[in-house]
Structure 1
């Protein structure tokens, strides 16, 4: 643990990024974590323990779409690659992992409310690349093979083959990094994405998609924010509608920044738009996942739900990892929780905890 007493929470230079709830990387992270939680609860309830699994290599590959003013739809499905490892057997009973993961994945996409108009059964194609092999360490020779549990990690004969129930141990070398408090700009970026993707805003402005991306840069007293905000074609009937919606976004962001005391020097939205040739951020679903873009676990927001490269953080992707023994998840969570708790308890300005 590091207690830094000369740390400036409000730095003269900051770069902060936030990938919104409909961004492909965020969707991949959240799907992986959802599947890990589902699998953990399922096996603990049925077999008395969380069986070995890791879903931290899941990928989402973009489909293709047709988009015009007033209408949009997918022309080829989004591919969901369920890649990872899972226990497929306990004792003499087989576990229908493939079927369960597909069912749970469909449940996730129904509940996440991130992809407008997507037909879960038609517009998603599932590709399963699962293994039940443990990492290197098992052998198939010697008199003690039947007693060695590593050979049976993903097909335990009984709870006796789960060594973590007897002694907790790390399965790897890794590090977890957390810090507190967030700067005022970090808090604003979090609140801005939460506000724009809130149910209240989506009800008031149904044309606004969920794949909202924010980049904030602070240099001394100047703060610049760039946003990508998709619009949903079903609700946008002309280029004039699109322009009005962009202007509405400007107004919302400026109003929130004033309420939170953030003095914006520059605000840019959808800078790649070219109105002359109608190259605009108009989508069928409200996410770039519909057309070519990909999402991978670990490429998105860190444990703080932000990407803040000037603060200490680990490149470890924690979503979807086993919650019992994988330190790539546990150390990361513990570091952030401890940092926040210590800061709240002490509440000393000018001190930062890592």
Structure 2
């Protein structure tokens, strides 16, 4: 592992500086797509571990959602066309003679996740799951005499005869040349975006305020101590009897957000706007049947929304990888982003400095030995390369813990 350390990281948490931060909420179509893809990966992984003692090759990180249609009026909201879940990717369909019920696993996981995310959505009726999965190998499978008979050959990547045909059982290596990047700690704008959205979509808030939906978007722009925040907060049609009620609850949402912002960032001056696209006189309002725009023609795609830390932060380093749905065993597009986050947190705890970490893989290289590691910190002096190497090596040796957290649903991927 080649380790480089530099200085000059912008301290987004300081009272000076600029942040532009977006967070797509729990019910946003892109967040839903990420959640569905990851739920399918977890369900498939659990099945494989239970039946075979090993996780077979799969990736569902190209999953997308196509929105349905809804009839929405004051006091009434119902779907009129289904939401389509297009599960695009590759999944091993059998281990030897043991056929895996892939379609059942995929359909059940997708519907169960959407039922939890959108409790008002009648998933058996209005969610159409369409698995579009193959077992084709990536480039590298060169046909030659007896090649397919060799143990762990590329031709057997998605068609293993036994566990011995899983190449990672012999040597754990990076499946791709990619980069994972993360930073710590969060800036004030980032804390506002995360804290406000998490509060408004949390179970306690939803129980107290059943008339708000979860397709919430928070956009934060900070210039020093001055913060401007715009939020889109949907309301549930059947819980909203008339325009006056909608307007009153929109004002209530603004006041609740302003109050919460004052708690999160007491030294900052926060201006809050809510549902700025509304036209009350028509009316054109953020009124929904389920609390999400996925019900009315919007689309969601894995990797198009929040990064692995739950944010889209415009002046921070970030990767374009869609983390959700990737195989947690060896896929660097998932593991290196999460490992970089853990390394940045540990380095910050040790040094007190703002830290950004980039881990760069090299296809075929040992998974726990990144090809390149770059650590950038705030402050006048770079941290010692030996310290960075030790922390990163410790994190890479502990990838098993990351996998367990992913399988248990305790580690977010968007």
* Category of TM-score, reference length = shorter chain: over 0.9
Q: 1:343 to 1:126 in 2, by over 3 A?
A: same
Tell me the equivalent position of 2:252: 248
Distance in structure 2 (CA, Å) of the matches to 1:145 and 1:116: 48
Structure number with higher relative contact order (C-alpha < 8 Å, ≥ 6 residues apart): 1
Distance in structure 2 (CA, Å) of the matches to 1:41 and 1:3: 41
User: Residues 116 and 286 of structure 1 are in contact (CA less than 8 Å); yes or no, is this contact kept in structure 2?
Assistant: no
Of residues 200, 205, 214, the one that matches 1:201 is: 205
Superposition pairs of residues 52-71 of structure 1, within 5 angstroms: 52-71=57-76
User: Residues 298 and 315 of structure 1 are in contact (CA less than 8 Å); yes or no, is this contact kept in structure 2?
Assistant: yes
Q: Residue 75 in 1 paired to residue 84 in 2?
A: no
Distance in structure 2 (CA, Å) of the matches to 1:203 and 1:246: 17
How many residues are aligned here?
A: 350
Give the gaps of 5 or more residues in structure 1: none
Please report the RMSD computed on the Cα atoms of aligned residues, expressed in angstroms: 1.5
User: Residues 32 and 58 of structure 1 are in contact (CA less than 8 Å); yes or no, is this contact kept in structure 2?
Assistant: yes
Q: Residue 183 in 1 paired to residue 175 in 2?
A: no
Tell me the equivalent position of 1:43: 48
Tell me the equivalent position of 2:134: 131
Deviations 1:138-175 (A, max 9, x none): 13332333116211111100111111011011111100
Which range moved further: 285-294 or 101-110?
101-110
Q: Residue 229 in 1 paired to residue 233 in 2?
A: yes
Compute the displacement of 1:120 (Å): 1.2
Aligned to 1:125, the other structure's residue is in SS state strand
Tell me the equivalent position of 2:406: none
Distance in structure 1 (CA, Å) of the matches to 2:247 and 2:5: 49
User: Residues 41 and 58 of structure 2 are in contact (CA less than 8 Å); yes or no, is this contact kept in structure 1?
Assistant: yes
> TM-score scaled by structure 2?
0.82
Distance in structure 1 (CA, Å) of the matches to 2:51 and 2:41: 15
Give the gaps of 5 or more residues in structure 2: 358-414
Compute the displacement of 1:3 (Å): 5.2
Distance in structure 2 (CA, Å) of the matches to 1:179 and 1:239: 44
Tell me the equivalent position of 2:146: 143
Compute the displacement of 1:221 (Å): 3.3
Runs of 4+ in 1 over 6 A off after TM superposition: none
Distance in structure 2 (CA, Å) of the matches to 1:330 and 1:155: 24
Tell me the equivalent position of 1:277: 282
